Amino acid sequence: MTHPETPPETLLQQEISLYRELLECLEQEAQALATAQEETILSLAASKEEILGRLLGVKKAREENPPAAGNDADLSDLDRLQRQVASRNLRNREIIAASLEVIQEFINQFLPPGPGLYRQQGQVEAGSGRTLFHRQA
């Protein structure tokens, strides 16, 4: 972690550096998600967790030891990086959600058909195309 006597300016630079590292990790994750590289995705998840732990430590230290006068350029850079990280994280989340929907569709193809609907005239056929296999009595 960071030593309690670390100058606030150094803490700000460390935070910026960690956000850049996280941004790079999210870019690699997007590429791994697009190419379905499972092992890479898992290792990047572990890297993100480690980076986020360090980032939390630096943020806490910076909050406990605020700078006397902020460097506007560094604060602007930090703000820009935070927005980029949030944007990349949202994009990756959307890729993951879309992938899970595709997986769910494939799983649904192997589920047995539902009981169908009942009307006064009798049972209505279950939705077609829902399963690959239909059992006939």
Query: Which CATH code fits 8-111?
Result: 1.20.58
Higher pLDDT, 45 or 136: 45
The pLDDT score that the predictor gives to residue 49 is 96
**pLDDT-based confidence at 133, cuts 50/70/90?**
very low
Q: How far apart are CA 70 and CA 81, in angstroms?
A: 17
- Average pLDDT over the chain reads 82
The pLDDT tens digits for 60-116 are 998 888 766 667 888 899 999 999 999 999 999 999 999 899 888 888 888 776 665
For helices 8-34 and 38-64, the axis angle rounded to 10 degrees is 160
- For the chain, the structural domain boundaries read 8-111
Q: What is the mean pLDDT of residues 2-27?
A: 83
Task: With 0.75 as the threshold, say if the pTM is over it.
Answer: no
